[in-house]
Structure 1
Amino acid sequence: HKGQYHHPGKPFWEDSACTKLCQCNPATGLVSCLESRCKAEEQCKVIKDVSTCVPKIIDVTETKAKVCPANSTHKKCTHVCKNMCLHVRPVVCSTVCQEGCECNPGFMFDGTQCVTAANCGCLHHGNPMKSGETWLSAHCSERCVCLPGGTVSCEKAGCALGESCVDQGGARLCSKPDATCHLLPTGGFKSFDGLEDRVWMEGTYILAMPAPKTQVPFRVIAHLNLFTCEPAVIFSSLSYKEVSIEVKKDLTTMVNGKEVSLPFRMNNGLEIVASQYTVVVQHPSGLALRYCSSGKVSLTLTAAYGSEMAGLCGNFNGRADDDLRLQDGSMADSFRSFYNNWRL
């Protein structure tokens, strides 16, 4: 390959920067390459015209004492793969020694420090895992743990009803999806849990408010104007702590009674942004209130608010059959009494 002989089946780096890992097929003699790189705790070095990934060592000078991490000793000649945990061992191990830090007898290098063999970690489907680390499988069907000694133990898991298996920062977890409540210009509404009906009484309604114990207390109200040529939610407002935000049908936005230009950001985390036909009030806790110039209002909440809500939009517990709850927590006997209870 490029004028150099490589042993069949033995991986090798194509260039001096260790950006492509190649292998010669013993059956065909053809070379295939994949883009790759050294691990974070390694660096690419060319040793006797061969590129290889070696552990990074502390840069020391001859005039300074050779300082190494705990449980390791500086050596004039140490080998790359000596006393190294299996899950961080390079694909290609050089037989040439070099100056660096070497783990003391009874300790292994885990990629960051020297640990006992029992705390070396595991290799699971090609992924390095720390000792004691737990994780869910690709479809959350199994929960696995890295045991001392490098053994991986898995048991059946699975997500609860109403939850889905999602990827969050590279880790799998069971989570309830976001939910959105809608109030349409004609009075049609849909709760967080999917209950649908039509509000036939004009007035101002409490759409949503969380339980008192919630860390982000807020209240969303909307005024429904039905008896005009163009029925609409003529304004919607969000109250959060000492701040009151009101968005009108022409998308004029008021903060504590004063009109503001958008985008508008506040120190309490609230942010107001606008597109051509929509104003969005959002908070990092997972709240987004959307008001459209068509007279439609939508409130989207993340799963963090699950089972903590009350109002016309329901309690967000995954069940539509108990959404007609009144302010005292009891169930309404009709939609009429439900609407009257949440009408201001």
Structure 2
Amino acid sequence: LSFFPPGSKLVCELEGEEVTPSILKGNPCISCFCRNKEVVCRREVCEDLVDCALVITTLGVDCCEKCKGCRYNGDVYNSGDTWAAHDDPCRTFQCREGVITASVMQCEPVDCPFGTQVLPGQCCPSCAGCSVDGRQRAEGEKFYRDSDPCTACVCENGRVTCSKQTCPVLSCPEYQVETPEGQCCPKCVAQRKVFDLGDRCLFRNNIFDAGQTVFKDKCTKCVCLESTVMCHRETCPSALNCPSGNIVQGDDDCCPRCEPLVCDVNGTNYQDGDVWHQSVCESCSCNSGIVQCRVEECRMNLQCESNFELKTLDGDCCPQCIEKNGVCTVFGDPHYRSFDGRLFNFQGRCKYLLAADCSTNDFRVRVRNDGRNTKSFSWTKTVFLTLGKHSITLLQDYVVRVDRETITVPYSVDSVFRIYRDSYNVIVDTNIGIILSWDGDSFVELSVPPQYKSKMCGLCGNYNGDRHDDLRTLKGEFTNEVRTFGESWRVGGNKFCDQSVTKALKYSCWDDSVARRRAQRSCRNIKSMKLQACHGVVDLWVYYRSCLTDMCECPEDKLCSCEAESAYIRECRRQGVELNYTQNALCTDMS
């Protein structure tokens, strides 16, 4: 619209240039520019502010008065804008005349014949179809529930979603607030005009500085930030899912709530939501005063891999496959079966490192071997266990010393270890999982949990699952010479060594027919039908040959076959074979 009548045109040269005629100076509502060599002017059209309760005016600086907007996190919003948090669609904001009301959306239930679904980016669950309260709604229609003007619904993409409306906090004085008939939220019924206050806030009849608390009640907290009153308001649900007699509201509570219902179980009170175990296989929970229990069902016919066993751990209901401990056995003259299953004979007559945790030095087991008046063999005479600051010595005839003091079995030290006796052996059971067994004569068995795999060293090997590399010397070198391997693990110096035998075995009991027949007769149990179930699982010939060797120089008052037989039976049972077998009575008597 041009403001100059014909014949009064102002001419200009630069196309598009802004021009301010002298007659219009100081009028912020009219702007002029150059078009086709003539000055053309237009008047700015101001928006209708009839529904705005708080108007900002600048008196000549700007043409139009503006409805008070909001600032939040550096962004500017107009009065009436609503938005959701980028990381939480249920957390909503609405700007109303310089006041931001932040709230968490309360979802309202909708009668959905085919169930509900929460779609991506939405807060409330929705259901297929837009039929609500018996009425079919059009696509995109926004409406309020007939029974509740505060429950807003929308039909989008053939689905209806309803939520409880959060009423915005109003900036006008309370006497200017009214709630229109049939509507949920109140409105300001009068309009106020104010100058721009900078970072300060106008709320009701007062002006507040930035950072100052503006308003606070049980449901709303407000503060002045960046010229905007920032309010956090709690919205109460329309209904509570509990009996009316169980609804409570504290003096400082905004919304009523359901008082937790208590479950009484045999005189014990459980709060709502509590979970407990009736037994290892049955768990129960308290849900709104009702006890609900569930029995855990175990998997049937669970098969474990080799070197694993089916075991039920303390506190568990169902068995599971647990890796077996590594076991090293020393028996007879002596024969060694490593953690990884390698069996060899070593006749050294000194003190040796049997096994140790060479990574963290949790424990160390040493043995002392002597000849016991034989020509060619040696036998384990004493076992030494070092466990932290404690030392345990296992001597002949079940004599036990702890920290150099002879003790009586059973015996324990706090939760570090306990010592007891079963039918045949003294057992040392430790808090780190290792178990040491000693028959009071020459049979030793060391059980080590899988946590020490690949951390072990000594005559029992490195416990890495590969028996082919068990003959590793103290210096870490591999050898096929058992004597070289064994002597590398000697400890304590020569004072513990029996020098009467320094060469390899030359004597053979097969040169003595009486000794040969005695050995065969004593060792025949290993080959008997009584142990037939073991023969296909554990190589009997390895233990049978060891038994014959033990009997070669066995004193007349001993039955040296017992240890090989016992070692064979124990290994068989470790492999899962069920045996109904009683060992030779003479072995039991000699124990």
Give the TM-score normalised by structure 1: 0.53
Q: Which residue of 2 aligns with 1:261?
A: 408
Gaps of 5+ in 1: 1-61, 76-100, 104-109, 116-122, 129-135, 142-158
Look up the SS of the partner of 1:250 in the other structure.
helix
Give the helix-richer structure, 1 or 2.
2
Q: Which residue of 2 aligns with 1:10?
A: none
The offset of 1:162, in angstroms, is 4.1
Which residue identity lines up with residue 261 of structure 1 in the other structure? T
Which residue identity lines up with residue 225 of structure 1 in the other structure? D
Which residue identity lines up with residue 273 of structure 1 in the other structure? Y
Which structure ranks higher in relative contact order (CA pairs < 8 Å, sequence separation ≥ 6)? 1
Change (3 A) 1:138 1:328: farther
Give the distance between the partners of 1:304 and 1:139, measured in 2 at CA.
Answer: 27
Give the distance between the partners of 1:209 and 1:176, measured in 2 at CA.
Answer: 20
Q: Which residue of 2 aligns with 1:167?
A: 312
- The answer to whether structure 1 residue 238 and structure 2 residue 385 are counterparts is yes
Moved segments of 4+, more than 3 Å: 71-75, 136-141, 159-167, 171-174
Residue of structure 1 aligned with 2:364, choices 202, 219, 235: 219
Q: What CA deviation, in whole Å up to 9, does each residue of 1:116-151 have, x standing for no partner?
A: xxxxxxx8xx748xxxxxxx954668xxxxxxxxxx
Q: What CA deviation, in whole Å up to 9, does each residue of 1:220-242 have, x standing for no partner?
A: 01111135249531111101111
Give the distance between the partners of 2:478 and 2:305, measured in 1 at CA.
Answer: 26
- The answer to whether structure 1 residue 201 and structure 2 residue 337 are counterparts is no
Contact 1:286 1:304 in 2 (8 A): no
- The answer to whether structure 1 residue 331 and structure 2 residue 478 are counterparts is yes
Contact 2:359 2:456 in 1 (8 A): no
Change (3 A) 1:172 1:277: closer
Give the distance between the partners of 1:287 and 1:139, measured in 2 at CA.
Answer: 30
Give the distance between the partners of 1:196 and 1:325, measured in 2 at CA.
Answer: 14
Q: What CA deviation, in whole Å up to 9, does each residue of 1:150-208 have, x standing for no partner?
A: xxxxxxxxx77744554332245442112321112311111111100111221111111
Residue of structure 2 aligned with 1:228, choices 373, 392, 401: 373
Residue of structure 1 aligned with 2:418, choices 271, 288, 295: 271
Give the distance between the partners of 2:312 and 2:404, measured in 1 at CA.
Answer: 42
Look up the SS of the partner of 2:467 in the other structure.
coil
Contact 2:394 2:440 in 1 (8 A): no
Give the strand-richer structure, 1 or 2.
1
Gaps of 5+ in 2: 1-244, 251-256, 262-270, 274-282, 289-293, 492-591
- Is the deviation greater in 201-210 or in 163-172? 163-172
Look up the SS of the partner of 1:223 in the other structure.
strand
RMSD (Å), alpha carbons: 3.7
The offset of 1:259, in angstroms, is 1.1
Give the distance between the partners of 2:437 and 2:463, measured in 1 at CA.
Answer: 18
The offset of 1:266, in angstroms, is 0.8
Which residue identity lines up with residue 381 of structure 2 in the other structure? I
Contact 1:181 1:298 in 2 (8 A): yes
Q: Which residue of 1 aligns with 2:446?
A: 299
Look up the SS of the partner of 2:392 in the other structure.
strand
Q: Which residue of 2 aligns with 1:315?
A: 462
Percent of paired sites with the same residue: 22
Q: Which residue of 1 aligns with 2:325?
A: 178
Contact 2:372 2:379 in 1 (8 A): no
Contact 1:209 1:311 in 2 (8 A): yes
Give the distance between the partners of 2:378 and 2:478, measured in 1 at CA.
Answer: 29
Change (3 A) 1:139 1:326: farther
Q: Which residue of 1 aligns with 2:396?
A: 249
Contact 1:179 1:193 in 2 (8 A): yes
Q: Which residue of 1 aligns with 2:146?
A: none
Give the distance between the partners of 1:291 and 1:232, measured in 2 at CA.
Answer: 13
Which residue identity lines up with residue 447 of structure 2 in the other structure? T
Give the distance between the partners of 1:210 and 1:339, measured in 2 at CA.
Answer: 18
Look up the SS of the partner of 1:336 in the other structure.
helix
The offset of 1:311, in angstroms, is 1.0
Give the distance between the partners of 2:410 and 2:319, measured in 1 at CA.
Answer: 34
The offset of 1:287, in angstroms, is 1.2
Which residue identity lines up with residue 437 of structure 2 in the other structure? R
Give the distance between the partners of 1:341 and 1:66, measured in 2 at CA.
Answer: 80
Contact 1:237 1:244 in 2 (8 A): yes
- The answer to whether structure 1 residue 112 and structure 2 residue 257 are counterparts is no
Give the distance between the partners of 1:225 and 1:299, measured in 2 at CA.
Answer: 20
Structure with bigger gyration radius: 2
The offset of 1:289, in angstroms, is 0.9
Give the distance between the partners of 2:394 and 2:462, measured in 1 at CA.
Answer: 24
Give the distance between the partners of 1:292 and 1:66, measured in 2 at CA.
Answer: 72
Give the distance between the partners of 1:314 and 1:193, measured in 2 at CA.
Answer: 7
Which residue identity lines up with residue 223 of structure 1 in the other structure? R
Give the distance between the partners of 2:299 and 2:464, measured in 1 at CA.
Answer: 26
Q: Which residue of 2 aligns with 1:340?
A: 487
Change (3 A) 1:341 1:72: farther
